[in-house]
A and B are shown apart, each in its own frame.
Chain A
Amino acid sequence: MTMTETKTATGPLPGPPAGKAPRGRARRILLHAVLAAGAFVTVFPYLLVVLTAFKSRGQLNSTEPWLPGLPPTTANLTTLLASDFPRYLGNTLLMTVALTVGQLVFTTFAAYAFARLRFRGRDAMFGLYLATLMVPSAVTVIPLFLIMRELELINTWWGLLLPHLLGTPYGIFLMRQFFRGLPAGIEEAARIDGAGPLTVLVRILLPLCRPALGTLAIITVISSWNSFLWPLIITSGDDTKVITVALAGLKNGIGVDQNLIMAGGLIALLPMLLIFIFFQRYIVRSVVLTGLK
């Protein structure tokens, strides 16, 4: 690895000036060492998941955890794929898609109205939304369970999805910020041509919203895919069981080995990892969207 400054490094960064020339090299080497060490610690648990997922039971005992088992075996993955695991994976996928679509649609409508339409009670209503940002999800779990029980929706798809299907205040807040950032006159032309609010939203504003929508989608996909407490409480049967609940159940299973658990973990982690690799810029943008830049 060369320590010379490369042209490709980064764009212009206003920030503390970099080290002066003579000390610069030594400092840069030290910096790289620290960053590489941090990167290793960051990646290590993933490495462990991957290595272990491909080990046989014998290799699990005979090799160090951080060394690969040779030859690697796909037996764990095959075992899992032959069990109910694909079904749980499918359930997670369905839940993630439903929640993400719901979030995108309903959040966009609400955020658009709050940001760019004027109507009676708007500010009071938005104040209400802001106030609900303060409600911790841990506090609503019990009453939500009781509501679903009253509606006889326990252990159903509706019970699993309903509380988070209609858009979250956080998402609406993010999207509203984005809508407000668009230039004021942007709808004028369309409105003069007689377009109504819906047409303006779909034809004019939505195409401009793609980055913000992408960010919102990523956040929702990740939080849905990873969600645990609500699915744990509201579902019990295989019909609606999601992968996180299934994996948490594995740990108590008798005779379930670490390699099998890690194989399940790998299957759960992989889609999120791919999404991260391909849509990384949207995640970084989520930070910018909160208005903190």
Chain B
Amino acid sequence: MTAPRSGSGLGAPPGSGTAPDAEEPAAPAGPVGTAVSRPARRPRRGLRGLGDLHAYLFIAPSLFGVLAFLLLPVLIVLVLSFFDWELLSDPTFVGLDNYRRMAGDGGVWRSMLVTVGYVLLCIPLQTVLAMVLALLLNRRLAGVRFYRALYVVPWMATPIVLGLTWKWIFDPRDGVVNNILDLFGVTGPAWLSDPTWALPAIALVNIWQYAGYNMLFFLAGLQGIPRELYDAAAVDGAAPVQRFFRVTLPLLNPTMFFVLVTNLIGAFQIFDTVFVMTDGGPSHRTEVINFKIYGTAFREFDFGYASALSMLLFVVILTVTLVQVRFFAKRTTYDLS
């Protein structure tokens, strides 16, 4: 299962660690607090322990899940990256060989380039589009609620179905895009089998799918900005463009941070649409790193090397995320509450 946004439900929203601790109700204590199902004869200290026990019981299932299916896997993938293992034989320890091989593997570098290319095609356009939509829809207008809802619809659509649909839309002969271009006397490229156009086409599909959803976040951010700030800016003679860059954008920093972090994490892991639309082709031009990992493990059964590639992706995502954390931490965040 992928997380809500193609694997990007990850990423803690801003302020996650900084929010003041909630009032902590004391653990159920006191000799009177025992009526329901517990014997009243327990001494005080035992009750404190009982409060802890409740909490631990509540947390136990999810803690087991986190340990067994999130932390243990990270450990395994790290250890395996130092092994050579094709599943049928026993794993052999090879030290840093997988990483050495990776450094000299043109296919991996190409795949990273494709991934970064995809991210650069997708994220800026998608973010700007989401912001523009939010600005357009943040006003009184007949039907504005309808539009807001409609633009989010692609978000919940099954990426596999969308991939298949868009694959057909981009079909060189029968596809809608080239049919329309024909009307204008333009012969369109072969899109998904064209080395130049395949990646942008896939990026377009994902922009189409997620721009509307991200618009919701910007919209929520915009509605949190007090109107007086705009009035004050207008009094000071700020033009609309200035108002956007001097008032709106800085105040949207927390939203921007969240949107960028989650979408970048998701974009670096793009898989589904590539799988159904191009299968990594033509001539590896859409072979993003997650697809390469999948192929190395489940088509070539080279699990050691695939683990090393997973570590590479992990480090890249971690680095990109931390860079954003630092970048946004330097900027002032305004408390509007």
B120 within 8 Å of A (CB atoms)? no
A2 to B254, CA, bound (A): 37
| A4 partner residues in chain B, CB cutoff 8 A | 142
Interface residues of B in 295-332 (CB under 8 A from A): 297-298, 303, 306-307, 310-311, 313-314, 317-318, 321
Q: A39-B150, A116-B22 are in contact. Are A16 and B240 (CB under 8 A)?
A: yes
Q: What is the interface of chain A mostly: helix, strand, loop, or mixed?
A: helix
| B103 partner residues in chain A, CB cutoff 8 A | none
Evaluate contact between A130 and B10: CB separation under 8 angstroms.
no
B293 within 8 Å of A (CB atoms)? yes
B55 within 8 Å of A (CB atoms)? yes
Write the nearest CB–CB distance from B269 to chain A, whole angstroms. Answer: 4
Evaluate contact between A140 and B7: CB separation under 8 angstroms.
no
| B160 partner residues in chain A, CB cutoff 8 A | 226, 228, 244, 247-248, 268
| B221 partner residues in chain A, CB cutoff 8 A | 292-293
Evaluate contact between A28 and B61: CB separation under 8 angstroms.
no
A272 to B4, CA, bound (A): 14
| B36 partner residues in chain A, CB cutoff 8 A | 194-196, 199
A143, A179, A192 pick with most chain B CB within 10 angstroms: A143
A138 to B52, CA, bound (A): 35
- Our pick among A41, A64, A166, A223 for the contact of B1 (Cβ within 8 Å) is A223
A166 to B1, CA, bound (A): 13
Write the nearest CB–CB distance from A79 to chain B, whole angstroms. Answer: 17
- Our pick among B10, B26, B33, B306 for the contact of A135 (Cβ within 8 Å) is B10
A163 within 8 Å of B (CB atoms)? yes
A1 to B146, CA, bound (A): 14
| B139 partner residues in chain A, CB cutoff 8 A | 13, 15-16, 18
Residue total for A at the interface (Cβ-Cβ under 8 A): 132
A110 to B4, CA, bound (A): 20
A261 to B158, CA, bound (A): 13
Evaluate contact between B58 and A197: CB separation under 8 angstroms.
yes
A85 within 8 Å of B (CB atoms)? no
Evaluate contact between A10 and B61: CB separation under 8 angstroms.
no
Q: A42-B150, A143-B77, A292-B255 are in contact. Are A265 and B314 (CB under 8 A)?
A: no
| Among listed A70-78, A206-214, A283-291, interface-contacting one | A283-291
Of chain B, the residue at the smallest CB distance from A114 is B59
Of chain A, the residue at the smallest CB distance from B228 is A14
Write the nearest CB–CB distance from B111 to chain A, whole angstroms. Answer: 13
| B298 partner residues in chain A, CB cutoff 8 A | 145, 233
| Among listed B92-100, B164-172, B193-201, interface-contacting one | B164-172
| A25 partner residues in chain B, CB cutoff 8 A | none
Evaluate contact between B26 and A13: CB separation under 8 angstroms.
no
| A179 partner residues in chain B, CB cutoff 8 A | 22
Evaluate contact between A45 and B165: CB separation under 8 angstroms.
yes
Write the nearest CB–CB distance from B233 to chain A, whole angstroms. Answer: 10
| A248 partner residues in chain B, CB cutoff 8 A | 160, 164, 275-276
A258 to B168, CA, bound (A): 8
Evaluate contact between A9 and B144: CB separation under 8 angstroms.
yes
Q: A43-B153, A110-B61, A191-B28 are in contact. Are A13 and B140 (CB under 8 A)?
A: yes
Fill in one digit per residue for B149-185: 1 if any A CB lies within 8 Å of its CB, else 0. Answer: 1111110111111101111110000111001000000
A89 within 8 Å of B (CB atoms)? no
| A217 partner residues in chain B, CB cutoff 8 A | none
- Our pick among B26, B63, B68, B310 for the contact of A139 (Cβ within 8 Å) is B310
Evaluate contact between B306 and A142: CB separation under 8 angstroms.
yes
- Our pick among A17, A107, A116 for the contact of B24 (Cβ within 8 Å) is A116
B248, B310, B318 pick with most chain A CB within 10 angstroms: B310
Q: A15-B139, A18-B140, A143-B72 are in contact. Are A125 and B63 (CB under 8 A)?
A: yes
B227 within 8 Å of A (CB atoms)? yes
A116 to B55, CA, bound (A): 10
Evaluate contact between A166 and B64: CB separation under 8 angstroms.
yes
Write the nearest CB–CB distance from A251 to chain B, whole angstroms. Answer: 6
B235 within 8 Å of A (CB atoms)? no
B105 within 8 Å of A (CB atoms)? no
A167 to B157, CA, bound (A): 23
Write the nearest CB–CB distance from B308 to chain A, whole angstroms. Answer: 10
A113 within 8 Å of B (CB atoms)? yes
| A107 partner residues in chain B, CB cutoff 8 A | 62
Evaluate contact between B140 and A10: CB separation under 8 angstroms.
yes
Of chain B, the residue at the smallest CB distance from A128 is B66
Evaluate contact between B12 and A130: CB separation under 8 angstroms.
yes
A229 to B158, CA, bound (A): 12
A26 within 8 Å of B (CB atoms)? no
A1, A3, A138, A272 pick with most chain B CB within 10 angstroms: A138
Evaluate contact between A15 and B222: CB separation under 8 angstroms.
yes
Q: A196-B36, A199-B36 are in contact. Are A269 and B158 (CB under 8 A)?
A: yes
| B271 partner residues in chain A, CB cutoff 8 A | 138, 228-229
Q: Can you list the 3 inter-chain pairs with the closest CB atoms, starting with the nearest?
A: A166-B65, A194-B35, A184-B23
Residue pairs across A and B with Cβ atoms less than 8 A apart, 19 shown, are A9-B144, A9-B145, A10-B144, A16-B138, A32-B141, A45-B166, A65-B175, A65-B179, A106-B62, A107-B62, A109-B61, A140-B77, A163-B65, A168-B9, A179-B22, A233-B298, A268-B158, A269-B161, A275-B156
